[in-house]
Structure 1
Amino acid sequence: MKQQLESFIETTKPSCLVADMFFPWSTESAEKFGVPRLVFHGTSFFSLCCFYNMNTHKPHEKVATTCTPFVIPGLPGGGIVMTAEQANVADDETPMGKIMKEIGESESTSFGVLVNSFYELESAYADFYSKNVAKRAWHIGPLSLCNREFAEKAGRGQKANIHEEECLKWLESKTPGSVIYVSFGSGNNFTNEQMLEIAAGLEGSGQSFVWVVGQKNENQGEKEEWLPEGYEERMKGKGLIIRGWGPQVLILDHKAVGGFLTHCGWNSAIEGIAAGLPMVTWPKGAEQFYNEKLLTKVLGIGVNVGATELVKKGRLINREEVDKAVREVMSGEEAEERRIRAKKLGEMAKVAVGEGGSSYSDLNRLMEELNSRK
C-alpha cells in the first residue's frame, strides 16, 4: 500500500494522516510530504500502559512458566496480576516481536496518538500514558457515540444478517434489563464442543438472550452441530440467535438489555461501557486479557466466566461456568451494585463526547494544533 498511499498524500495534501498502529511505515511516508501522522490505537489507555510496562520491566522473563502469575510493575494503582501467556508479550526476535518493535519506534516519531476512550473512564492511565509513553495523546471516544441516528447505529460495521426492525421487535417484547447480549466479536474461533457448552449454559441460566454466533470457522463442520437438538424450538421467545453479523450498537442501547457477554475486544468493551452495561468477560487473546482486568478489577463492572488462557489452547469453559457468570451479572445484590457503576460510566461517556466534554475538548485541541502547523 505504500506507493498508493504516498501518491494519495501527494495529490490530496491532507492536514494529517490517521493510520492504524499496524502500519508503522506510514509515519515515514507522511513525513516525506510534510504531513503529520497520527497513530490510532484500537484499545484502551490501560492496555497500552500494561504493554509498555511489560516491555519496559519484562517481568514475564523472570517467571518459571507461562502460567505463573505475576504483578505488572509500575502501573498506577498497581495490583494487576497476569500470566505471561495472558500478557501476550512477543519476543523481540519473533515476527510479531519485530512488528511490535517497529510499531513502538514509529509511534515515538509520529505526531501523536489517538485513543478510543474518554478521560473519566481511565484518568490515571491516560495521565501515565501521556507522561511516560506518547509525547502527545488525545482521547476522542467512545467513537460509537458519534453514531446518533438509527441508520448509523444499525450500519456500524458490516450489514447485519437480521433486519433491525425484527431484532428490535423481539427486544420490545422483553422487560427492561432482562436480556443478556452475547457476542464474541467478528472472529468466532470456538469449537463445536465449546459452542454446545455456551448454548447449554445460556439455557440453564434461565435468562433471555440475544446471541450473535458469527460466521462458521474451521473448527466447525457444515452441519450446525454446535446447537443441542431441538434447542431453537425450546428457546423460542427466550433466545434470539443471529447467524453472521448483528446490529450490536442498536442492541446494546436497547432498554431490554441488561448485560453483555463479551470477548473483551476494545470496540465491544467500549460500546458496552457507553451503553452503561455490566459484562461477563471471556477474553480469547490479543490485548483482551488486559481489557478484562480493566473491566473486572479497575472499573468493577465485569465478571470473568473463567477464561484464564488463550482460546487456541483448547481449555473448555463448561456450561456451569457460563450459567454462573450470567446469573452473577444479571441478578442479585452485587449485580445491582455493578449495574449502578456501569450506568454511571455510560452517562459519563455521553457527557465526554457532548459539547464541552473531555473527548469533545480533546478533539478540538487536536484540530487547533493541526491548524497551527499550517
Structure 2
Amino acid sequence: MESSTMTQNKVEVHFVLIPLMAQGHLLPMVDVGRLLARRNNVKVTILTTPLNAVRVQASIDREIQRGSSSPINIQHFRFPNVEVGLPEGCETLDTIPSMDLRLNFAKAAFLLQKPIEEAIEKLVSPTTPICIIYDKHVPVVSEIAKKFKVPRITFDGSNCLSLLCNRLLYNSKVAENLSPSDSLFVPGFPHRIEFKKYQLPDLFSQNIGQDMIRDLRDKMWKDEEEAYGVIVNSFDELEEEYAKEYTRVTGGKVWCIGPVSLSNKDAMDKAQRGKLDSKEVQEGVYLKWLDSWPARCVIYACFGSLDDLRPGVLMELGLGLEASKKPFIWVLRDARKVEEMNKLLKENGLEERVKGRGLIIRGWVPQLLILSHKSIGLFVTHCGWNSTLEGICTGVPLVTFPLFSDQFYNDKLVVELMKTGVRVGVESSVYFGVEGKFRDQVKEAIEKAMGEEDEESERIRERARDYGEKANRAMEKGGSSYLNLSLMIEDIKQLVKCRVEDDGSKAKP
C-alpha cells in the first residue's frame, strides 16, 4: 500500500465530506471517508464541528497510521448553537438537552452556509478539483457547491427502499388527504407495500405546522434532483431493484457502497467507533460475558434512546426478554428519562431476577463489537437503518420494533421482503403514543426467530445467514459495493477533468 506522502502529488480529485451533526449520520459518513482514503489518487477531508471531530478523530488517526493509500484529515467549522438558543457546547442532535429544541437545531442548519463556505474556500485549489459529498439534511451545501462550481453527491443515511418510497409518496401526494390511521399502498413501488399514514416519516404522517420543516424537506428533495448522484449505505444484492427504480423515477445516479460499517475490521475499530474510551471495553467486560455462552444463543437488544419510548413501554420489552428464558444483553442508552427507567427497574426487580442470564447496560456500547461476537444469535432492534444493516451483516435474524421515521420502511424490508425477521406487532409511530402490554409479543417473536425445532424459524435463520454472507462479499475487493465505489470515483474524476478542460478552453482567446 502506498503512503499518503507518495500519492499526494498524484491527487486527481479532492473529496470533501460534510456529515450531519448527529451520531447516526456522522459515523457512516466517516466510514465512507475511510473507504475513499483506501483508494489511490484521491484526497479526503471531513468537515465537521470541533466536538463532533473529537468523536471520530481516533478512527481517522488509526486509518492514517495504517498507511492509507490517500491522505485523509478532519477540518473544523463553528456550529452556531448560541445564535439559535442552544447551550454552549451543544453541537450534535443527540446531545440537545430537550427534544423541544429540535427546531432550534434545524434552524442552526440554515445558518451553516457561512462557516462551511469559509472552510471550503480554504480547500479550493487550482490543481486539485473538489467534489462535495454531503448529508442531504445539511441544506446549505447545494448553494455552496454552486458558488464554487463543484459537483456534489448526496449521502443518504437510509436505504434505497426508503429513498424510493419517499420519492413516490412525495410525487403522488397520495398521503395528503388521509387521516393518520388510514392505510395506503405506495404507488408505483415494484411490490405491493402497505403502510398506515402514521407509520410514514414526519412530512407525510403528521400535519406539521412549522413552515420551516416543510421548506427544509422541499429543499432537500429539490437538491437531490439537482445533485450529480447519491451514495447509499446498502448493497446491490439487497436493493439493486430499488436502486434501479429510483434511477428510473428520478433520472439520478445511485451508487450502493455499503455496508460501510464493515470498513471497521479489527476489534479496536469496532470498540471505539464513535467513542474515545470505555472502561468496560478496555477491561473486556462485555466480551468476557459473551465468551461464557455458546454460539448463537444470546439476544442483543437495543431500542434507541429512552426519549423514543415511554419507560413503561420499554419496561415491557425488558419483561419480554426475561420471559424468553434466553441469555440477553439489554442496552438502555443515555437519555433524559434514565432516572425514571432506573426507578421502574428497581421497583419491578427485573434486574435482580435476571442476574447472570441478563446483562443490562446503561449508556454507550460498542455495538459492532458485540454484534460480531459468535454468541449473538438475535438482534432486537428499533429498525434504525444503521443498526438494521449492522444486524444484517452479522447474519442473525432480527426482531423488529419500529418507532418512527424510516424505521417502518426498514421493518417492511426485513420482515416482508427479506423475510429474515419477526415483527413484535407494534403498528403506530411513537409520536402517536405507543402503549400497551408487549411482553408476550416480544417473547413470541423471539421464540419464532430462535425456535430450535421449527422449520420456519430455521428458514428465517438460513436467509439471515445468506444475506450476511452477501453483505460481507459486497465489501470485499471485486464485490458489488467495492466496484460501485470504484465506478463513482472514476465517474467523478472524468467529470471534474471535463469541467477543468472546458473552463480552460473558454479562457483561451
TM-score between the two structures when normalised by the length of structure 2 = 0.70
Correspondences of 1:98-247 after superposition (within 5 Å): 98-133=215-250, 135-159=252-276, 163-164=280-281, 165-186=284-305, 188-218=307-337, 221=340, 223-227=342-346, 229-247=348-366
Deviates more, 1:251-260 or 1:312-321: 312-321
What are the equivalent positions in structure 2 for 1:265-304 lying under 5 Å apart? 265-304=384-423
| SS class of match (2:344) | coil
- Over alpha carbons, which structure has the higher Rg? 2
CA contact (8 A) 2:305 2:335 kept: no
Alignment of 1:66-81 (within 5 A): 66-76=180-190, 78-81=191-194
Q: Which residue of 2 aligns with 1:49?
A: 164
What is the CA–CA distance in structure 2 between the aligned matches of 1:161 and 1:226, rounded to whole Å? 24
Q: Is the 8 A contact 2:306 2:337 kept in 1?
A: no
User: Retained in 1: the 8 A contact 2:330–2:358?
Assistant: yes
- 1:363 matched residue in structure 2: 485
Write the letter of the residue equivalent to 1:343.
R
Partner-residue secondary structure (3-state), 1:224: helix
Deviation at 1:256, TM superposition (A): 0.5
Cα distance per residue 1:185-208 (max 9 Å; x no partner) = 356432221122122111111111
Write out per-residue CA displacement over residues 28-77 of structure 1, whole angstroms, 9 at most, x where no aligned residue.
102211221211100010011111111122222354x211222111101x
Amino acid of the structure 2 residue aligned with 1:333? E
Residue 171 to residue 162, structure 1, CA distance change in 2 (3 Å) = farther
Aligned to 1:12: 123
Go from structure 1 to structure 2 and tell me whether the alpha carbon gap of 1:162 and 1:274 turns closer, same or farther (over 3 Å shift). Answer: farther
Identify which of 195, 208, 211 aligns with 1:82. Answer: 195
The offset of 1:95, in angstroms, is: 3.5
- Helix, strand or coil at the partner of 1:19: strand
TM-score (norm 1): 0.94
Residue 216 (structure 1) shift: 3.1
1:129 & 1:204 partners in 2: Cα distance? 43
**Contact 1:182–1:209 (CA under 8 A) maintained in structure 2:** yes
Change (3 A) 1:187 1:44: farther
Q: 5+ residue gaps in structure 2?
A: 1-111, 498-509
Cα distance change, pair 97–231 in 1 and its aligned pair in 2 (3 A): same
Q: C-alpha offsets along residues 99-130 of structure 1, whole Å, 9 cap, x if unaligned?
A: 11100111111121110000111111011112
Q: Are the equivalent residues in 2 in contact too, given 1:116–1:141 (CA < 8 A)?
A: yes
Which blocks of at least 5 consecutive residues in structure 1 are unaligned?
none
Identity between Structure 1 and Structure 2 (%): 38
- The residue that corresponds to 1:322 in the other structure is 442
Larger RCO, structures 1/2 (Cα 8 Å, 6+ apart) = 1
Contact kept? 1:138, 1:366, Cα under 8 Å: yes
